[in-house]
Amino acid sequence: MKCHICGRENDGKVSYCIYCGAPIKNYKRKKMAGIIAGISGLVILAIVVFSAFAIIDDSKGMRMDYSKDEKIVRYADINDIENPRIFMGDHILFSETGAVLEDFFEKNAYFDYNDNYDHTMAAVENDDKLYYVDGQLEPRPIGYDIYNFIMCKDGGYILCEGSRDGLFVYDVDNDSRIQIADSCYKCSISSNGKYVVFSDNYLEKQGTWIVSLDDSEKTKVSDKDLGPIYISRDGKRAFFEYYDDSLKLIFYYNDGKCECIGSADNIWEITVNDDCTDMFLAGGSGLYYYNSEMESLKKLLDDNARNYYLGKEIIGVTGSLSDINVCDAPTFRKCFITGNHSYYFEDENTRLLKLDGFVYKEPYKIDEDCGWLYEKNNGIFQAVRVTSEGTEYMDIPGVDFKVKSLTGDENCDTLWLVSSDNELYEYHDGKLNFISTAENGYYNLKYDKYEEKLFFLDDDCLCSVKKGEKQVVREYDGCKYGVVIKYIYDDFIAISDEKKRDVVRIFGNYVDVNE
């Protein structure tokens, strides 16, 4: 059976891809109740051997995991943070302040989670009830029997569709509802919460509409019941999907016109930018691209794309189970793409550059005129300048020693380098800052974007250093190798400790995720 993520064939009736760990299941959302073991199909396990940190690909995963409960083995100190971020694990809500909410979810209940770009607000489903939650971890009820919901990616509004109250927008600041329709076929909302696009179920109102929440103006997009993919912040552009038998047609609304821009079959995932000018479609039939300056979709690859590096985070529109994703990048031109191989994409008029070897979550950086990656060449890390014409290896500017280990922050604006003499440096704006020397070396460097810290192993201890600082802090003693880590925690630091527990650090809390 073919994996819908990596596109490789698996022998026999397997539940998970033997190559990438993705579930060999469809993504159809179901209401689940009963024993936890009965819903193990929602679990993704990514096993990384002989490593203290999980090194897991960036493809969209699931926020839900029902295999075993988390257990906090060491609580964080509570800090006063303005507008703190949040994260949901198996069944615990975590705040960037260090606070946790452990007893919120009902036993064996279905739950889901959908947050904004900044990860400071979320819509959280707890069985048949929907709540608004922010970093204060004080859930505010919104309603019952809401089966579709979207947290606006700028925050502040939640689009809700349910059997009781139809289609409405929940205004977080005013704790109020804005009614849109009695029911709908499919719907979406702009990141700023100002425009809702939906197709109506009622025959007398059949068609697809855009509604402005500022003045309630209603604009008809099409007589067809199109499936909204996403709509721009100004309400002027939107992508739609429409099925003609088994063929998926893609429609684009721009400047008051809605036209079919192409078709593709066997598509599993759609990624658009926030301004609705760019789109990737990926699946069994390959990878397709569209930009608003083009007349139609263009096929880039027969290979299925697993990940994109666009310089900004990609987030699921309806949550982490979503097959529609959005990124607040101005364009998808100039980006890295990984599938069975890795590629650099410059634009639709130039060839897709296949990179030598398989670049697996290497540090990437996007500049105005090129891309950069940092890769080992003859055992030593070098900077690689990438354009559609090819790659150019060079020493890292300003670094006059051999680099044996390297990692970076989200867009490699800051790098951390380990020399062959086991010296740790921070590298920023072409300047090197020495941090310290480790007799036994630094191992498994990984950056935590939430805490803005570099973590590494030194003498069986998890250590950290804050970005821009030099003080090394011993965080957790007794770290061992051979961690087994769940996919949902790939943004956090994972270790296996001396008690053979798989422990993840989430906002300073240490959580046993394999109890």
Question: Mind listing the domains of the chain with CATH numbers?
Answer: 268-359 (no CATH), 361-478 (2.120.10.30)
Q: Do the beta carbons of residue 300 and residue 294 sit within 8 Å?
A: no
318 Ramachandran zone, left/alpha/beta (phi>0; psi -120 to 50): alpha
- Spatial neighbors of 293 by CB under 8 A, at least 6 apart, are none
Question: Which residue from 128, 237, 226 is spatially nearest to 185, judged by alpha carbons?
Answer: 226
* Residue reference for tokens 């946790």: 100
Quote the pLDDT of residue 66: 38
Using alpha carbons only, give the angle 358, 359, 363 rounded to the nearest 5 degrees: 175
Q: Count the Cβ atoms, other than its own, within 10 Å of residue 26.
A: 10
The H or E element spanning position 298 is strand 298-301
Q: Do the beta carbons of residue 407 and residue 445 sit within 8 Å?
A: yes
In whole angstroms, give the CA distance from residue 411 to residue 287.
24
Q: Count the Cβ atoms, other than its own, within 10 Å of residue 217.
A: 11
Low-confidence ranges of the chain (pLDDT < 50): 4-7, 13, 16, 18-23, 25-68, 482
- Spatial neighbors of 437 by CB under 8 A, at least 6 apart, are 421, 422, 423, 424
Helix (H, G, I), strand (E, B) or coil at 308: strand
The H or E element spanning position 158 is strand 157-162
**Cα–Cα distance list, 477 to 409, 450, 457, 461, 496 (Å):** 25, 22, 10, 4, 11
**What is the tens place of the pLDDT at every residue in 394-407?**
999 889 899 988 99
Quote the pLDDT of residue 138: 96
Quote the pLDDT of residue 58: 33
Question: Which residue from 415, 327, 426 is spatially nearest to 372, judged by alpha carbons?
Answer: 415
Residue 350, Cα to own-chain centre: how many angstroms?
A: 28
Q: Do the beta carbons of residue 378 and residue 372 sit within 8 Å?
A: no
Quote the pLDDT of residue 304: 82
Quote the pLDDT of residue 341: 87
Secondary structure percentages of the chain, helix, strand, coil, to 5: 5, 50, 50
